[in-house]
Amino acid sequence: MEIFTQQLINGITLGSIYGLIAIGYTMVFGIIGMVNFAHGDVFMVSAFIALITFLLLTTWLGISSVVVALVIVLLVAMLLTSLVNWTIERIAYRPLRGSFRLAPLISAIGMSIFLSNFVQVAQGPRNKSIPPMFEEVIVLMSGEGYDVAISYKQIAVWAVTAALLAAFWFVVSKTALGRAQRACEQDQRMAALLGINVDRTISITFVIAAALAAVAGTLYLMYYGVVSFADGFVPGVKAFTAAVLGGIGSLPGAVVGGLLIGLIETMWSAYFSTDYKDVAAFSILAITMIFLPQGLLGRPDVEKV
């Protein structure tokens, strides 16, 4: 029971990070119908931005408060990552929006390779780390030789994920920006005829997706304490899997899918072989797609005539 409870806590934490990345996938796909395969590498770039900023603040500027440093790191990472994603949208995606459907996809894959190789050349192939932080834990139950504990880092990940999900659900559901996004999702040409600036709405969506990726990257760095140039591919694929599993286009579905992927990974690692945890996660996705093609919380596709 103790192992199950501990892995449940670990799975929710990992799934929360996947969910934050998955929201970025689902927001972009929901509006322009394109899978931004560079989003995982945007997440990786944000983690490196957070790493460099944290080291500059603590080593060069001498900021001793970890909380203050993390708040500044989060703001800087969100700002710079949003700028990177805005540039990517303007250069790599917008000129191809009216082209055949595979063109933006190929461009996204190319941008993913570019970001990964750029970081590898700029920062080197080795893992980069920061000093451990927030190592204190709260012991929830004590067993025979095994204590179930939750760390302050895990609580922070849970709280940030829940707060951001609520905030962006409110933005999409209740604000003028959300109405513009939903209108562009339905029909971009009609939205433009009604006075909505489609290009600006799509750019803002990319900025929001990058800001969420930056939050995920900062939390990832804080939680694991290490980042590599290759950390964009696997978390990106799993976050995309989470978005599809939960129902791509649904914000709650993205988080639910992320939580499920995280729980499947941790539970499989605890009770079976760690080598096959990815196989288990993708097998659950395949089974779900057979019986629920729209995902757990997605809406069935309606063909426009």
Amino acid 89: pLDDT = 92
Tokens of 256: 């639910």
- Rounded distance between C-alpha atoms, residue 259 and residue 262, angstroms: 5
- Rounded distance between C-alpha atoms, residue 296 and residue 117, angstroms: 35
Q: What percent of the chain has pLDDT above 70?
A: 97
The model's confidence at residue 15, banded by pLDDT at 50, 70 and 90, is very high
The residue among 304, 297, 300 whose CA lies nearest residue 22 is 297
- Rounded distance between C-alpha atoms, residue 216 and residue 268, angstroms: 23
Domain boundaries, the chain: 2-291
Chain segment 57-80, per-residue pLDDT in tens = 998 888 888 889 999 999 999 999
DSSP annotation of 96 reads G
Chain segment 184-218, per-residue pLDDT in tens = 888 888 999 989 999 999 999 999 999 999 999 99
Mean pLDDT of the chain: 88
Amino acid 196: pLDDT = 92
- Dmax (CA) of the chain: 68
Chain segment 101-137, per-residue pLDDT in tens = 788 889 999 999 999 999 999 998 889 988 888 888 8
Amino acid 219: pLDDT = 93
Q: What percent of the chain has pLDDT above 90?
A: 46
Assess whether pLDDT exceeds 80 at residue 5: yes
Assess whether pLDDT exceeds 70 at residue 144: no
Q: Which fold has domain 2-291?
A: ABC transporter involved in vitamin B12 uptake, BtuC (1.10.3470)
What b-and-e string marks burial along 37-47, b requiring 16 or more CB atoms within 10 Å of the CB?
bbbbbbbbbbb
Judge contact between 275 and 259, C-beta under 8 A.
no
The model's confidence at residue 293, banded by pLDDT at 50, 70 and 90, is confident
